[in-house]
Each structure stands twice: as structure tokens, then as C-alpha cells.
Structure 1
Amino acid sequence: MDQLHPSQKQRDAEAQKVWDAAAVVPDPEVPCVNVAELGILRNVEMIDGEAVAYVTPTYTGCPAVLAIELAIEVALREAGFEPRIERVISPAWTTDWISDEGREKLRAYGIAPPVAGSNSKLALFGETIVACPQCESENTEKLSEFGSTACKAQYRCKDCLEPFDYFKCI
């Protein structure tokens, strides 16, 4: 499989229909974003009559990966395709793959999106400023390294006093 991010690919009409069917599947742990916006749907193509969807889990231990793969398979079947799901683990998923629309949807849902540049040492080791998704204050504090899922940390805004999840940089 080609290693380009889906936004960099050109698809023929049939592959675009496959993409459109698979892309709308919501993430089961963060249902405000779909698998395309989250960047875990890497690519699709038609191979010998099968609609092949390439999926990269957010991390290898993600408990939702099987549910995501099954949901994509169902969506493709319902769209009239014979599906096959291929899990791609290299290159590893990064929060940099979350689309701008996905980041805005996270914020509107009450989850602070990850800061851009996941390869930054500051982002990787938690020395980043996390703005509150409710009031946009940067006067926040980390309460726990883990939030509602392992890929999120729990924060609290010191101004509006609201707790919120922060989607960690990976």
C-alpha cells in the first residue's frame, strides 16, 4: 500500500464511492468524529472486485480497533461492496493526521484537540498549553494522564472550572 495520507491521493470514481462509504463511520469512543477526520482510514482501493479499506489504529492496544474495522466492513457491505479490511501499523498513526474539521468537531464536543506537531518534545512530554474547549482559557491544569480513554488526558479549567478531556499528542 502506498504510504500517502488519503488527502494526498487521487481516486477513480469507484474507489471514491468506497471512500465515501467508509469515511462516514464514526469513531466508537469519540463519536463526534468519523474515521476519515480522525485519520485512521488511510486509503481504499478496489482489488479483484473487493473494496479494500486500509485502517491504522490510533495505537496498537486500542480496544476500539475491532469495532471500527467491523463498522467499516458493514458500511461497505451496505453500500454494495464486498469488503476487506487491512490493518496498517506502519507508519504509526499520529494525531497530526486528524483533519482541521476533526479538530473543530472535537473542540465543539468538549474535547481539547491535540496541539499540532506531535513530534515536538514539548507536546510529547506534556509541557504544552491546553486551552479549555468550553471557554478557550489557557489557565488549565492536568488532573490525570488518562481521561475517558487511554488516548486522552483529564484536565480542568481554572477559570470556568469545567473538567474536560484533552486528546493527547501521539
Structure 2
Amino acid sequence: MTQALTAYDVARTVTDPEMPMLTLEDLGVLREVTEEGGAVIVAITPTYSGCPAMATMRDDLVHRLRDAGYDDVRVRVELEPAWSSDWITERGRAALAEHGISPPGPADHRAGPVVLNLLPTRRALHCPRCGAAEVELTSEFGATACKALYRCTACLEPFEHVKEI
């Protein structure tokens, strides 16, 4: 006799639409899954305000849970506390690197207002392909708002870097 998967077991397998090597759990956006009175309530937090992938994440969670037999599925967006790249799991960081994307370093946490700086952000990172630290910023903005583009000056390969938030 096999045991049915819990709603959390199902939700934790849903992948990020922009970085499908990561589950929502590994990305740190899956906050909570509860079952209340026959309904499944899933809480997720966007990586960025206005993240265009949120609708797809919600739809994927609803579809996957309904396919697993949960008829009443509700997805709630939680904005507090704000998501941090520190929430990406070690498994998620390893998956990013395995797919040629530089994982974020520790996020800079400050109390109070955030200073607006229009200059490129200095980051200590390594090429995910060859491991060299000699990299140069190509663009502060990649295909998604959460990534910057770099080029390794050792192996000359371009790569994306998930920004520290």
C-alpha cells in the first residue's frame, strides 16, 4: 500500500519557470503549504516586486496540486518578509552552478532606507564553468531582473549571475 503525497510534497516539486533547474522550494519562494477544511493554501513570495513569473508559478502550483487530487487550491502571495537570495538552498545553488549560472553570494542586509546606486554592483564571484575569479560585468541586467551578465576573462565564456538581494 502506497501513501498519498502530502500537499507540501507535491508543491515542493514545482519548478521555477525562468530557471527550471530550481524548484520553488530551492529558490526559497515556497513559504508555506497548509491544508484547512479541505482546501490547500500555498504561500509564495516573489523574488522581485512585479516578478512576471508569479502568475506562472501560481498556475503551476494549482495545476500540479489539482492533478494530485486536491480540488480546492488557493495561492497566497506574501510580501513580508521580502524574499532574499539567501533563501536559495544549497541544493539550489549547486543546481545553478551545474547549469552554468553563477549563484548569488551573501546578500547585504541593512536596516533603514536602501541607498540608490546607479553604478554597477561590485560582486565577488567565480566563473561557473572554469572556476576563475577573473570575470567582467557585461550588463547589470540579464534576461530576467534577478540576473546580471558576466564574461570570464580566463575561459572567455559568458554566463549569468543571480543577483544578491
- TM-score by length of structure 2 reads 0.88
Distance 1:37 1:118, change over 3 A: farther
Specify which of 94, 101, 115 is matched with residue 104 of structure 1. Answer: 94
- 1:49 is matched with which residue? 38
SS across alignment from 1:96: helix
SS across alignment from 2:159: strand
SS across alignment from 2:6: helix
Q: Deviations over 1:109-128 (max 9, x none)?
A: 1100000234279xx97222
Higher-Rg structure is 2
- 2:146 is matched with which residue? 151
Which structure features the higher share of helix residues?
1
Aligned-CA RMSD value: 2.0
Count of residue pairs brought into register by the alignment: 155
Distance 1:85 1:110, change over 3 A: same
- Give aligned-pair identity as a percent: 40
Report whether the alignment pairs 1:93 with 2:75: no
- 1:32 is matched with which residue? 21
For structure 1, the 5+ residue unaligned runs are: 1-12
Distance 1:165 1:126, change over 3 A: same
- 2:8 is matched with which residue? 19
- 2:68 is matched with which residue? 79
Q: Partners of 2:54 and 2:125 in 1: how far apart?
A: 27
- For 1:77, the aligned partner's letter is R
Report whether the alignment pairs 1:113 with 2:90: no
Q: Partners of 1:118 and 1:64 in 2: how far apart?
A: 24
SS across alignment from 2:11: helix
- Asked if the contact 1:94/1:118 (under 8 Å) is kept, the reply is no
Q: Which has the higher contact order (CA 8 A, sep 6+)?
A: 2
SS across alignment from 2:73: strand
